[in-house]
Amino acid sequence: MKPRQKYSAFALVREAMRGHTGWPRAWNSPLPSKRYDVIVIGAGGHGLATAYYLGKNHQIRNVAVLEKGWLGGGNTGRNTTIIRSNYLQDASAAIYEKSRSLYEELSQQLNYNVMFSPRGVMMLAQTHHEARGYQRINNANIVQGVATEYISPEQVRELCPIISISGPRYPVLGALWQARGGTARHDAVAWGYARACSEMGMHIIEQCEVTSVRTEGGRVVGVETGKGSIECGKLAIVVAGHSGVVAERAGFRLPIESVALQALVSEPIKPCLDVVVMANTVHGYISQSDKGELVIGGGADQYNNYSQRGSFLHIEETVRALVETFPIISRLQMLRQWGGIVDMTGDRSPILSRTPVEGVYINCGWGTGGFKAIPGSGWAMAELVANDQPGALAASFGLERFREGRFIDESVAAGVAH
């Protein structure tokens, strides 16, 4: 395949001089072929990263990525873009730290600006129990080689001058600080991976829903889609909140539940917040976008659903608590609000695993923390699909752990699943 045009300052000047008429399409949209070595269901960040690392790390390039809607139209475009790796459990810290380190070089790797901003992430300790928990995580991170530190209320105030550290309900007792955490542009991550996959000759096929999975003798042989039958040697299911639906079409069930997680943004204002702040006691987290909007994340609905709206209850609870912690934002108006469908496991840790159907692999259960894991998830999933065995990153996240009682309980250990 002809190499795609390299993005650079010189290319930008050249195209500016000719009215930007020479830019090619970022990725191709071909009709599906009859057969692929690997089909990846889901053209979100995790699915595209899986395809990319299949090609880059394992030279498997006869790959199709099938998407029932448009590329990046699911949770990839519906999150608050936080990137961190300060988890307690060793398996969690390893895969998230791999992901965070990949994010640092992703723009150069993909020749696409994903706008990674290592502005730092602080997780506020607003109860004594939470303070002890974060000190415990900090000690674990030191052993794991993850660069974090536990900082005092005065240091919190220095890093974030607009915060009120003496709130009557939720005073700030300290924070777990990861200076090399931050944010990235969610759409750009998906677009960059898609462009790189297309350059390797992979097919990205949008508006192509998988309606059933065909098997013979307990092994996958292909899928039925809205654009016809497609044969495959291996199948990777990477569809976030709809994992249970697609798994049933393949003939097995998953130990997950799907709920809506919501977020909102304020009207744009002048720069006032240059770090990411997470307040897990009240389940609110806030950062400021490049356009000046305050990006605010709230809680997950308390009932199973596939809505992409969320509920007013969490808007009220989240905003009320954040206004107390950040009084300066009290008179801002909400610009827009949305929800994403997240899939939750019992231990709030992901599943990267082989399945009861030979040749079918599942990547799901990232819950409310999927965006930060995209590069590491794709790296580990590609290794699993290519070798039919999990590597070190994915080994602890198999389906068998639920049968064996070998949980990776981050909801208890970290105090929050984000």
The one-digit pLDDT tens for each residue of the chain (418 residues) are 455 678 888 898 998 998 988 888 889 889 999 999 999 999 999 999 999 999 999 999 999 999 999 999 989 988 899 999 999 999 999 999 999 999 999 999 999 999 999 999 999 999 999 999 999 999 999 999 999 999 999 999 999 999 999 877 889 999 999 999 999 999 999 999 999 999 999 999 999 999 999 999 999 999 999 999 999 999 999 999 999 999 999 999 999 999 988 899 999 999 999 999 999 887 789 999 999 999 998 778 888 888 887 678 878 888 888 888 899 999 999 999 888 899 999 999 999 999 999 999 999 999 888 999 999 999 999 999 999 999 999 999 999 999 999 999 886 544 454 5
**What's the rounded Cα separation, in Å, for the pair 101 and 38?**
27
Q: Where in the chain is the domain with CATH 3.50.50.60?
A: 31-81+186-255+347-413
- Domain span(s) for CATH 3.30.9.10 in the chain: 113-181+258-345
Half-sphere exposure of 45 (CA within 13 A, CB side): 26
* CA dist., res. 186 & res. 333, Å (int): 23
DSSP 282: T
113-181+258-345: CATH number: 3.30.9.10
pTM for this model (two decimals) = 0.94
CA distances from 268 to 81, 291, 292, 326 (A): 17, 6, 4, 16
CATH node for 31-81+186-255+347-413: 3.50.50.60
Whole-Å CA distances, 106 to 101, 111, 189, 230, 403: 9, 8, 9, 32, 37
